[in-house]
Amino acid sequence: MIERYTRSEMAHVWSEENKFDNWLRVELLVCEGWAREGVISPEDMEKIRAATYDIARARQIERETHHDVISFLRSVQEKLGPEGRFLHLGMTSSDMLDTALSIQLTQAGALLREQLDALTETVSRLAVEHRMTLMVGRTHGIHAEPTTFGFKLAMWVDQLRRCQARLDTAIDEIAVGAISGAVGTHATIPPRIEEYVCQRLGLRVEAVSTQIIQRDRHAQFVTTLALIGSSLEMMAQEIRHLQRTELSEAFEPFGANQQGSSAMPHKRNPEKAERVCGLARVLRGYAVTAMENVALWHERDISHSSTERIILPDACGLLHYMLWLFNEIMSGLEVNTARMAANLNMTRGLIYSSRILLALVDKGMDRQAAYKLVQRNAQKVWRDEDEGQGLLAMLKADPDVTAKITPEELDAIADPTAYLAWIDTAFERLKLL
């Protein structure tokens, strides 16, 4: 995990200590399962429960064995007496590894959900606050019609809620354990022990496992994180656009002592939003690797193992950081309502062309004829042939238009607040009001 983009609570989940804690937890529960079967005596079980691992010793052993599970087990067994022989009884490495990994992924998922909830709350608050803050809507990067900044954010709230649902599903899918032996047939360990261990860990039992839990579950988890990252990128990219000098409608927070450029003291770059966008690309790459891990040989091979040591901690860590960072951006977002109002009028009335078209149709004009009539005048504004007067002036001077619509009606049509008539519908549907 990259320390620069990892928060401490997520780092703990993927720490070697937490990993070994979960490994030992699984091993001890399996021993308890054997004790319930009468294989391990109560006296031996009491000694086994006091077992501990030694990270330094495990690393030392691994330099000889080149096998992390064997090295871990030996570091534990060395501190036990004869009862140590019951550790890992009937198990294969992946029984411990995959079940413990499911614990780590659910722990990581809980932290992700916490940050996602915090971001959703922040964006919801801003959406309501700015639900009537007029700004121009843009399609293809071109001014379209008036909208509100809050309406834009309401769409983000809806998307973030879908992210919450997807994450919940992904966590539920990965919350399974398997203690089923070398090829999953329970030939060396009865299903009752698997059921006991999973119940104690709060995991479901994988109905059918081979030597491993199948990697479609892990692929779903990582692709879900990547999809959430892509949603964050969409939002961060919008902030980047709104902060452009030509727009200057919204700015990510900029500290009093922050410096934007080593060469240009005036610069205030959207570097935080750009960071979110960049990290989303990494997450998508991890999703591809996770899907490549689904197709393994027969009952398993080990080709997925090396990649998962990288992609699982990093994917969780990066998304956790991205959610936190984007929440910081939105919590401190500077919204320039005056600039939004100025930009609304930048195209000198062109944004009202659709309502004018509909008004002409309502007056009985053929739609195509009305479209060409409005477009003819709009093109004069685009080409600056209107001498700065704007679309309404052109239309008022066009007898083909005034034969249908009075100048007073045109003025009434060009009212941006008319676009707010149903703006609360989205907020009501989202239960934000």
Q: Which residues are catalytic?
A: 140, 261
Q: In this structure, are residues 232 and 318 in contact, taking their beta carbons and an 8 Å threshold? A: no
**Closest by alpha carbon to 19, among 319, 312, 320?**
312
Separation of alpha carbons 306 and 303, rounded Å: 7
Helix (H) or strand (E) holding 149: helix 149-174
**Closest by alpha carbon to 301, among 212, 201, 383, 372?**
212
Alpha helices in 244-346 (DSSP H): 271-292, 303-331, 337-344
Separation of alpha carbons 337 and 130, rounded Å: 9
Angle between helices 191-201 and 16-36 (to 10 degrees): 130
Backbone phi and psi for residue 334, each to the nearest 5 degrees, phi listed first: -100, 115
**Closest by alpha carbon to 134, among 346, 396, 341, 361?**
341
Q: In this structure, are residues 344 and 134 in contact, taking their beta carbons and an 8 Å threshold? A: yes
